[in-house]
Structure 1
Amino acid sequence: MKGKLFYVGLILAFVLSAVAHYTHLNATLQFVISAIAVIFVAGFLGKATESVAHYAGERMGGFLNATFGNAAELIIAIFLVKDGMFEVVKASLTGSIIGNLLLVLGLSIFAGGLKFKEQSFNVKLASHNSSLMILGVIALFIPAIFAGGLTTKETSSMSLIVAILLIAAYLLWLLFSMVTHKDVLSDAAVEHGEALWSKSTSILFLVLATVMVAFSSEWMVGTLEEVTHKFGLSELFVGAFLIAIIGNAAEHSAAVMMAMKNKMGAAVEIAIGSSLQIALFVAPVLVIASFFMGGTPMNIVFTTYELAAIGVAVFITKSITQDGSTNWYEGLLLLVVYIILGVVFFLV
């Protein structure tokens, strides 16, 4: 009965959110209805991810969740790049990276830690994740430092080369972690219990849930400009925090659910894996795509504020996850750093 009520609520909330959006109801009302829909859809996505993980393993389940979630973000970002809104795109990418590392992972570790005294995942995977996060920071810092002494054309060429190298590094990481060293980086077997659905149904529902998240999040984001204007919030804060919280918290809420079931391997893959995918794949793809759209291409040079936020997020995340074990206090530390950055971005 409880399960049936959830699905009734899911369908009802999603339909009402669509109606509110397409009939152009009051922005504040749209925002509230969309927020309720996002909560229901996030729960559906969590169930789908857990069911897929039952068949494919925690890492693959987490990877699919991160990939489907970022796919929707990539599509939206491509349209923004086409319109030349490069700064908005970079702010949202920054928000996604720090949101996943600090908010999603922080909540996962904190929630899981309240239920289990200590949780662990593959320590070798933790080490490789740390190295990849540092690579992402280096790849963003170096162009920003040297861009001042380069011409626009040279900056574009540098951005294109760095983007190609990052994509190659990410694809080879997938080959390394999912194929050649799959056994070394896998977690110890965890009791999954019964799957909610069959394998094919689980994958279908994961795709469906991701599409629903993309729509409901986009409808909610569409009301933000008018709603936040009433409170005098800056574009940087809205782009890097509010939009990121809505998009990432909805897409990757499954990480929290996984952590609370002592499946920290999947939670880490969703949170850190998604951030790595944004930094090493999504951002470079947007840079390369901009070269085929005509006009001035997007470079990979981020602002000092954005670089500082990403660098701090990577530093604290590496420090906490490098030993392959977590507790609730470490999750709290990540959340504190996220709040500090939020306060600063709010006041800038």
Structure 2
Amino acid sequence: MPTTTTDRTPLLENGNGVHHRTFRERFTDAFHAEDEPSWLVSYKWFLFGSWLNILLVFVPLSIVAHQLHWDAALRFSFSFVAIMPLAALLGTATDQLSLKLGQTLSGLLNASFGNAVEIIVGVAALLQGEYRIVQTSLLGSILSNLLLVLGCSFLAGGLKYPESNFQVTAAQASSSLMTLTCITLVIPAAYHGAQSDGKKVDATVSALFSTAGQFVDGGDLVDDTTHGLRIISRGTSIILLLVYIAYLIFQLKTHAYLFKSSVVHEIETPRMNVPAAAFALLLVTLITSFCADYLVASIDETATRYGIPKAFVGLILLPIVANAAEHVTSVWMALKNKMELTIGICVGSSIQIAAFVVPLLVIIGWITHHDLTLFFADFETIVLFVSVLLVNFLIQDGKSNYMEGLMLVALYLVIALAFWVS
């Protein structure tokens, strides 16, 4: 009989006829499982799977504008638009990794990269000493998610369905944690106010009883107040991070049943393999950090030259960039009557900002010797408090309609108007 030939090389078989895989085969299997798309298919879908990726052309434009020192408005606009598709790609890569990592690791991944743009922009502004931009951008992200994104989702869902229902216990647990983080921002403002009042009294007494008419302005009390704010902010940040870790365990492990949707969802098929998604996540994060640095560097000149309040830029414009992908996803879920997912996206993202990103940036500032504190201006603290209060009132019944969405959007527009004239 003729000898049958195979595609195996005899040298790759042992005496028992067992085939030994080559290094190339082992390497390929390690980075490409049989049930996962190839690297080429993964990146083809990653880059061409959304029309929003057309805006990636502004990434090189942003770099060129910065290197050639073009007009500040062009540098700001190019970087502003460039971050929008990058934010969407960050979310896409994170979601693809989440499909394969399991629930617990997915939660940790979403906690780390779910608000990657806010972290990147915040670190860039922090290292440049733009503390005002850091605080307003983070506060703006919280307000954008709680009022604009959630409001538009309630409005869109309410126009399609008379009433939408969601798990009230999970929503209240999330909103209660949001209230806690809001209170932790009120305490530094209250402390500063109390110390300032004490300083005024002591300065007046010192002026009345100073010898030889020498006036004492109470500057040492200002230093004491700043030192106290640092201690309060850093200690509170550590506590908030611990509370957030406990919240992740509560949400993903011990009480995960509270956060499960009553609607049966289709199992999503991965469109990228794990190594390709991980590499894409790191690469997009790096590119986003450069664009964020260019964006922050152009804010001051743009605001001064064109008369745009810096608070408005940080509170309104920057969160629009960072939350563009979340905004679209949240509204889309509401139109599908998946209101638990909408609540999870909006309130959950706000919790990540308030209980994870803000404390993280305070600690990073502590390490890098940048005195970022949790002390926000009185007006900003009041705005955050009333916003959280309204959201708590609206979700406590576990139902939503278009009128509730309209109220949230209306409050956001009023706040935007107030910061425009500030």
Output the TM-score relative to the length of structure 1. 0.82
In the alignment, does 2:250 pair up with 1:170?
A: no
Query: Contact 1:61–1:266 (CA<8 Å) still a contact in 2?
Result: no
Q: Which runs of 5+ in 2 are unaligned?
A: 1-44, 196-223
Query: Contact 2:138–2:353 (CA<8 Å) still a contact in 1?
Result: yes
Paired AA for residue 189 in structure 2: A
- From 380, 392, 396, give the equivalent of 1:322: 396
In the alignment, does 2:358 pair up with 1:313?
A: no
Paired AA for residue 258 in structure 1: M
In the alignment, does 2:179 pair up with 1:134?
A: yes
Match of residue 70 from structure 1: 115
Q: How many angstroms apart in 1 are the aligned matches of 2:114 and 2:305?
A: 30
Seen in structure 2, the aligned counterparts of structure 1 residues 289 and 209 have a Cα distance that, compared at 3 Å, is: closer
Match of residue 355 from structure 2: 280
Secondary structure of 2:352's counterpart equals helix
Query: Contact 1:187–1:265 (CA<8 Å) still a contact in 2?
Result: yes
Q: Which moved more, 1:307-316 or 1:185-194?
A: 185-194
From the CA coordinates, give the structure whose radius of gyration is larger: 2
Q: How many angstroms apart in 1 are the aligned matches of 2:293 and 2:264?
A: 35
**Residues 1-348 of structure 1 correspond to what in structure 2 (within 5 A)?**
6=51, 9=54, 11-30=56-75, 33-34=78-79, 37-38=82-83, 40-41=85-86, 44=89, 64=109, 67-150=112-195, 151-152=224-225, 153-192=227-266, 194-195=268-269, 197-198=271-272, 200=274, 203-204=277-278, 219=294, 222-250=297-325, 253-294=328-369, 297-348=371-422
Q: How many angstroms apart in 2 are the aligned matches of 1:181 and 1:247?
A: 30
Query: Contact 2:124–2:289 (CA<8 Å) still a contact in 1?
Result: no
Q: How many angstroms apart in 1 are the aligned matches of 2:77 and 2:348?
A: 30
Secondary structure of 2:184's counterpart equals helix
Q: Which structure carries more relative contact order (alpha carbon 8 Å, separation 6+)? A: 1
Work out the percentage of aligned pairs sharing the same amino acid.
Answer: 36
Query: Contact 2:83–2:322 (CA<8 Å) still a contact in 1?
Result: no
**Displacement of 1:179:** 0.9
Q: Which moved more, 1:147-156 or 1:15-24?
A: 15-24
Seen in structure 2, the aligned counterparts of structure 1 residues 46 and 173 have a Cα distance that, compared at 3 Å, is: closer
Paired AA for residue 246 in structure 2: L
**Displacement of 1:321:** 1.9
Paired AA for residue 335 in structure 2: M
Seen in structure 2, the aligned counterparts of structure 1 residues 264 and 176 have a Cα distance that, compared at 3 Å, is: same
Query: Contact 1:81–1:89 (CA<8 Å) still a contact in 2?
Result: yes
Query: Contact 1:107–1:256 (CA<8 Å) still a contact in 2?
Result: yes
Seen in structure 2, the aligned counterparts of structure 1 residues 233 and 165 have a Cα distance that, compared at 3 Å, is: same
After superposition, give the CA deviation of every residue in 1:169-223 in whole Å (9 maximum; x if it has no partner).
1111111111111123222243336536156379546666666665556555555
Paired AA for residue 153 in structure 2: S
After superposition, give the CA deviation of every residue in 1:286-319 in whole Å (9 maximum; x if it has no partner).
2233333347x33322111110111121011112
Seen in structure 2, the aligned counterparts of structure 1 residues 195 and 322 have a Cα distance that, compared at 3 Å, is: farther
**Displacement of 1:275:** 1.3
**Displacement of 1:60:** 8.6
Q: Which moved more, 1:73-82 or 1:235-244?
A: 73-82
Query: Contact 1:42–1:254 (CA<8 Å) still a contact in 2?
Result: no
Q: How many angstroms apart in 2 are the aligned matches of 1:191 and 1:129?
A: 22
Paired AA for residue 260 in structure 1: L
Secondary structure of 1:291's counterpart equals helix
Query: Contact 1:59–1:186 (CA<8 Å) still a contact in 2?
Result: no
* Aligned-CA RMSD value: 3.6
Q: How many angstroms apart in 2 are the aligned matches of 1:89 and 1:176?
A: 29
Q: How many angstroms apart in 1 are the aligned matches of 2:369 and 2:72?
A: 35
Q: How many angstroms apart in 2 are the aligned matches of 1:159 and 1:8?
A: 39
Q: Which runs of 5+ in 1 are unaligned?
A: none
Paired AA for residue 305 in structure 1: F
Paired AA for residue 278 in structure 1: I
